[in-house]
Amino acid sequence: MSKATEIPQGPVLPKANGLYVSFMRTLREQRPASFLLVFLSILVALKGNQYLFFNFETSPAVLLMPTGIGLAAIYLGGYRLWVPIACAWLLSLITSPSNPAPLFIAAATIAHPLQAVIGGYVLHRFNFLGTLGRTRCAIVLIMVALFLPVVAPTITTGVQLLTNSLSAPLWTTWSRA
């Protein structure tokens, strides 16, 4: 049998430099204390937002601390902290009283850590020092604060639009996400 006609046996696993190996390395590099600190702080903030939303009928976007906590975690602790951010969002959405659709849960679980990673990258790329002592640092932080919060709502609202599950008009849903 020639190589062109051979049928692969069993599942094809990623190569040593593949995404799977990179993901497993990220999991092994987690420090339990930082993982728990980030996970619990984001989860508590998310559950607090859910409480405010369902009991006082206010928009959670008014007080969305998990976005800032995630950005600070990525900036201070490194990109590996996307894992506890994703886990906190996943647990919060799975236990939400609104019972969101599985596709929405998946989109939000990906979008919010991605938003924090993008923000951390931009802060590092533009040499943000963690202080506002330089005008450049203040401008970088203001730009990140203005443009970063559109990442996750755009992804989650886009998924709702594609699945025809918007609960309100597009602009209203996007601005509340």
CA nearest to 175, candidates 75, 60, 27:
60
Q: What is the biggest distance separating any 2 CA atoms in the chain, rounded to whole angstroms?
A: 70
pLDDT at residue 74 greater than cutoff 90:
yes
Report the pLDDT value the prediction gives residue 4, as an integer from 0 to 100.
55
pLDDT at 56 over 80: yes
Instruction: Give the per-residue pLDDT at 20.
Output: 72
Tokens 């020092």 — which residue?
129
Q: Mean pLDDT throughout 61-87?
A: 89
Q: Give pLDDT tens digits for 135-160.
A: 999 999 999 999 998 898 889 888 88
State the pLDDT confidence band at 61, using cuts at 50, 70 and 90.
Answer: low
What is the chain's mean pLDDT, rounded?
Answer: 84
> Tell me: the pLDDT tens digits for 79-95?
989 999 999 999 999 99
